[in-house]
Amino acid sequence: MNHDMRQRGKVWYLRKRVPLDVREEVGREWIEESLRTRDVREARRRRDVRMATLEREWELIRRVGDPSALESALAEGELERRAASRGELDPAAPSVVERLSEELSTKAQEWGRHKRHVDRFGAGMDPEELLERFTAETREGARLRDQMEALRGNIPISLAGERWLAKVDLTEGTKREYRRFFKTAQERLPRSAQVTRTDARMFAQWLAEEGGADGSGFSRKTVNNHLSALSRLWGHIGLDKAIWKGIDFEPAKAPVKRNIWTLQETILLLDAATALRGKAGARMPRLIRIALHTGARAKEIAGMEYDPENDWLVIRRETTKTDAGERALPCPDAIRDDVKAWVADPWSTQSVTNRFSELKRGLGFEGRSKVLHSFRHTLASRLHELGVQEATAARITGHKHTGMTYGVYGNKTAVESLRDIINSLDWDARLKAEREAIARRTQSVQDAP
């Protein structure tokens, strides 16, 4: 309960060892700060708030190096530009870039003498080669180089991405995905201002052939997601985003085809779910029935709300993947009780995904062709069978469709117009009929001579 806390006299202090991988950038081994309270409960609350801040700072360092030095240099450069615009800048004073350049040269000479690349008079290795070696082989050299490049408008891709993501309205899941994309791009590409169309094309092909943790390459969709994120970032920082568009590449990995769940397979899932022990035996069938009737994604189901006044299911923007995913739907009659019970005691997104995956693998459904997300395709297929127009089906499933406007509630009349369609899915009757058909087939086999 009181971990990472120490009491001095009557006042509580935070005491936390800095992780080894960020210790050099932070500049100290221990964080020791007064929590300014004698009350242990308040101290725990303040500790948790401060630790959350520190963890975010350390994670940022892991992604982009020490951002404070870059941000400090950029802030100093901005102050210099403002002073110049007001005519308040001393022309005789060296600029920020000039001061950093002088510091870089001095530090490189000191390092060169220590490594015996040059003598005490500076003779020996060519000065340009010495600078190149110093910035490539030392953290201090890399830090000074990065600051100078940033002041010239050439900000590291990950840092530019962090600054953009702080302003843009995206879900946390999308931001995490974009951070991975930007980190990969920073590792494989020159600095943003130096990236050419050829670099972009070669990067796309590398993603397709060797991307991913296992080096087996990404699917076409995932590569295009990388390119789309980089295009948006390039537009934000004022570079030519067209270099990321229209790139032709050959994916090494075939796209995963999501198959629908058949009625017989859905029955197997429901029966196995009902047989689970404890609370899971009630929650899992609800999860499956909600997915079947709504086509909602895992995160949407986990964060789903019920509006009793309108009898609607409400899926907020923060729980969905796209603007189109934010929607309200009439609650299907068949699952109203399931929905009420679910929203009162839901699983987290991770639990939804992991528990369903465990269930379906236990029934022999291996691989990625049939997952919880497959219920979206199952619902879309059923809507197509019923002759529902594409735009209407998109409103139900939360897919983007030309001409649609989005918003969680939108037009109340438009939402209510979906009620008859949703209730016409008739999954319960179809599942009952399939059970009866299975029973007849089983009986027929047993009666056969």
My answer on whether 284 and 406 are in the same domain is yes
Domain housing 131:
68-151
User: pLDDT tens digits, residue range 94-151?
Assistant: 888 888 888 889 999 999 988 888 888 878 888 889 888 988 898 888 888 888 877 8
Is 446 part of a structural domain of the chain?
A: no
In a domain, 175, yes or no: yes
Please report whether residue 274 resides in a domain.
yes
User: Do 324 and 361 fall within a single domain?
Assistant: yes
Judge whether 255 lies within some domain.
no
Q: Is residue 256 part of a domain?
A: no
Q: From CA 150, how far away is CA 155, in angstroms rounded?
A: 4
Same domain? For 165 and 221 the reply is yes
Name the most confidently modeled range: 39-53, 67-81, 405-419. Answer: 39-53
| pLDDT tens track for 64-85 | 555 556 667 777 777 777 878 8
Cα–Cα distance between 265 and 250 in angstroms, integer?
A: 35
Record the pTM. 0.54
Same domain, 21 and 131: no
415 and 268, same domain (yes or no) = yes
| pLDDT tens figures, 388-404 | 998 888 888 886 654 44
Residue 346 has a pLDDT of 92
| Same domain as 114, residue 45 | no
When pLDDT is cut at 50, 70 and 90, the band that residue 181 belongs to is very high
pLDDT at 315: 87
Shared-domain flag, residues 278 and 395: yes
Domain boundary, last residue among 26, 45, 64: 64
Q: Are residues 282 and 425 in the same domain?
A: yes
428 in Cβ contact with 334 (< 8 Å) = yes
Confidence of residue 207 (pLDDT cuts 50, 70, 90): very high
For residue 133, the number of C-alpha atoms closer than 13 Å in the C-beta half-sphere is 16
Please check whether residues 141 and 187 belong to one and the same domain.
Answer: no
Q: Are residues 284 and 421 in the same domain?
A: yes
Residue 290 shares a structural domain with residue 352: yes
Residue 215 domain-assigned (yes or no): yes
282 and 422 in a single domain? The answer is yes
Rounded Cα–Cα distance for residues 124 and 402 (Å): 66
- Give the domain CATH number at 324: 1.10.443.10
Q: Kindly state whether residue 427 falls inside one of the protein's structural domains.
A: yes
Last residue within a domain, chosen from 134, 151, 168: 151
Share of the chain above pLDDT 70, in %: 91
Query: Which stretch of 23-32, 307-316, 423-432 has the lowest confidence by average pLDDT?
Result: 23-32
Q: CB of 313 within 8 A of CB of 339?
A: yes
What's the total number of domains in the chain? 4
Residue 252 lies in a domain: no
Instruction: Tokens 């179809």: give the residue.
Output: 430
182, 217, 244 - which closes a domain: 244
